[in-house]
Each structure stands twice: as structure tokens, then as C-alpha cells.
């Protein structure tokens, strides 16, 4: 999830969001029941098609519901206020919370 409100207004129109710039990111394997990173091996076109289908199902089953729980910046803020920072360092989490607090006081 990328929250434009957390990007410096001077560069907001020029930035193209990427995974490292996302404000919430979680690896699909961590969202799956095993709660560990998952890597798929592909050796041929048939395996690629099967793995692609498996990844699509995994995203539908395990990825969409957690993402739906973060419909806006307020929900993201609530997650960060608990001390959780999925895909971010604690430093990044604190920095974003400070930015949100500062912008709400303006």
C-alpha cells in the first residue's frame, strides 16, 4: 500500500511508487498459514503456469483480506500506533507517525 499523503508534497507529482517506497508491505508467505517466506521454483513453461495460478490463489486467499483492513491512512496509522510495522523498520514506522502527527497539527 502506498499512501501519497506521506510523501513530501514537493515531489509527490514526480514519484512513481515502488515496493521499497510502499508504506505497508508484507510478503505473501508471511500472510499464509505457515507464516514463513515462500519461494516457488520454475523450470519450464508448464510449471510457470501452475505456479502463476498458485500465486494468484494465494493472493486471493491470504493477501486481499489483510489489505482490505487498511482502506485509508487512518487505518494504517492505527496499525503503526500498536507498534506493528509490516514490511517497515521501526524507525520508518515512527517517522511516518511523526509526519502524520505533524500534518494533523497544521
Task: Write the pLDDT tens digit of every residue in 70-83.
Answer: 999 899 999 999 99
Distance CA 88, CA 19 (A): 11
pLDDT at 14: 60
Name which residue leads in pLDDT, 52 or 3.
52
Of the candidates 70, 106, 85, 87, the residue with the CA atom closest to the CA atom of residue 97: 85
Evaluate whether 103 touches 5 at the Cβ level (below 8 Å): yes
d(CA 83, CA 21): 19
pTM for the model stands at 0.70
Q: Tell me the pLDDT tens digit for each residue of 21-75.
A: 788 888 999 999 999 998 999 999 999 999 999 999 999 999 999 999 999 989 9
Instruction: Report d(CA 67, CA 24) in Å as an integer.
Output: 9
* Contact between residue 65 and residue 52 where contact means Cβ atoms under 8 Å apart: no
Amino acid at each position: 500500500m502506498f499512501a501519497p499523503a506521506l510523501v513530501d508534497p514537493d515531489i509527490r507529482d514526480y514519484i512513481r511508487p515502488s515496493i521499497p517506497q510502499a508504506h505497508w508491505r508484507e510478503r505473501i508467505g508471511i500472510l499464509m498459514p505457515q507464516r514463513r517466506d515462500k519461494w516457488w521454483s520454475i523450470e519450464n513453461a508448464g510449471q510457470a503456469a501452475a505456479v502463476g495460478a498458485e500465486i494468484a490463489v494465494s493472493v486471493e486467499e491470504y493477501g486481499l483480506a489483510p489489505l482490505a483492513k487498511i482502506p485509508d491512512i487512518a487505518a494504517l496509522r492505527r496499525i503503526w500506533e500498536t507498534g506493528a510495522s509490516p514490511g517497515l523498520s521501526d524507525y520508518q514506522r515512527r517517522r511516518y507517525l511523526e509526519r502524520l502527527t505533524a500534518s494533523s497539527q497544521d
